[in-house]
Amino acid sequence: MPPRSAVLQLPDPVKAELDRRLLEAGFSGYVALSEWLADQGYEISKSAIHKYGQEFEQRISALKVATEQAKAIAEAAPDEGNAMNEALIRLVQQKAFDVLVNLSDEDKEVNLKDIGIMVARLSNASVKQKQYQAEVQAKAKSAAEKVASVARQGGLSAEAVDTIRREILGIVA
Interior angle at CA 110, CA 49 and CA 58, nearest 5 = 40
Burial class (CB in 10 A: 0-12, 13-18, 19+), 37: buried
The Cα–Cα gap between 128 and 66 comes to 25
Q: What percent of the chain has pLDDT over 70?
A: 86
Residues 93-123 have pLDDT tens digits of: 777 777 777 766 555 566 677 777 877 887 7
User: For the whole model, what pTM was predicted?
Assistant: 0.49
Give residue limits of the domains in the chain: 1-78, 81-173
59-80 per-position pLDDT tens digit: 888 888 877 877 777 677 665 5
pLDDT at 33: 96
Mean pLDDT (the chain) is: 82
What whole-number distance in Å separates Cα of residue 111 and Cα of residue 156?
Answer: 63
pLDDT of residue 74: 67
Distance CA 144, CA 164 (A): 8
Which pLDDT does position 77 carry in this prediction? 66
- Where does the chain have alpha helices with state H? 12-24, 30-39, 46-76, 83-101, 112-153, 158-169
- The whole-number average pLDDT for the span 36-43 is 96
